[in-house]
């Protein structure tokens, strides 16, 4: 913030070391479980900003993090049949499985199977955030989907360039 406030020109700000980041470390951090880390919500919000049309100012009273693959699925659920125990441990808190909701989530729906959860949260507009609506495009939620999402997320975040602002 200090760099922004003290810079006289855009070029001066963009040359400041405070805007530089270690791309390899970023990719390494994003490859680990992110839920529960202090920066999780900020990374998800950055993704939202990168993937949205930002021509309208948006203000949200509530931003909550939703796990698509639930943290504690019931033993008889689709989630347990679709994901092995090890896969659930790997993917549950991964950035590919997390989205922001712009309203309080319905805690009763948190363990629903994918199709019901999709309908409950996204078709009924419980969120106004564009990344949450992308979930409607998926017919299923599995390791292949999460792997592809993660690759796209890491590529998107690791290619953020401040030079494009100049």
pLDDT at 123: 66
pLDDT at 164: 46
Sign of CA dihedral 138, 144, 146, 151: negative
pLDDT at 54: 62
pLDDT at 84: 97
Sign of CA dihedral 13, 39, 69, 128: negative
**pLDDT higher than 50, residue 110:** yes
Q: Give the model's confidence band at 128: pLDDT under 50 very low, under 70 low, under 90 confident, else very high.
A: low
CA distance 68 to 141: 8
- Mean pLDDT across the chain, nearest whole number? 82
Average pLDDT, integer, range 121-147: 82
Backbone conformation region of residue 36, classed left if phi is above 0, alpha if psi is from -120 to 50, else beta: left
pLDDT digit string (tens) for 86-109?
999 999 999 999 998 876 665 555
Type and span of the H or E element at 10 = helix 10-15
CA distance 15 to 20: 9
Average pLDDT, integer, range 141-158: 94
> Phi first, then psi: what are they for 14, rounded to 5°?
-65, -25
Type and span of the H or E element at 92 = none
Nearest to 39 by CA among 123, 98, 127: 98
């Amino acid at each position: 913030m200090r760099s922004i406030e003290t810079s006289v020109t855009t070029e001066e700000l963009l040359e400041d070391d405070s805007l530089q980041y270690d791309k390899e470390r970023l990719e390494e951090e994003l490859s680990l479980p992110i839920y529960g880390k202090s920066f999780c919500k900020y990374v998800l919000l950055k993704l939202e900003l990168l993937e949205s049309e930002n021509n309208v100012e948006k203000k949200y009273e509530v931003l909550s993090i939703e796990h698509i693959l639930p943290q504690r699925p019931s033993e008889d659920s689709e989630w347990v049949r679709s994901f092995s125990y090890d896969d659930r441990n790997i993917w549950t808190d991964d950035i590919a499985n997390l989205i922001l909701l712009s309203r309080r989530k319905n805690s009763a729906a948190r363990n629903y199977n994918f199709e019901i959860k999709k309908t409950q949260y996204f078709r009924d507009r419980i969120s106004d955030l564009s990344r949450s609506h992308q979930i409607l495009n998926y017919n299923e939620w599995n390791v292949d989907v999460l792997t592809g999402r993660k690759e796209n997320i890491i590529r998107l975040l690791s290619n953020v360039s401040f030079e494009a602002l100049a």
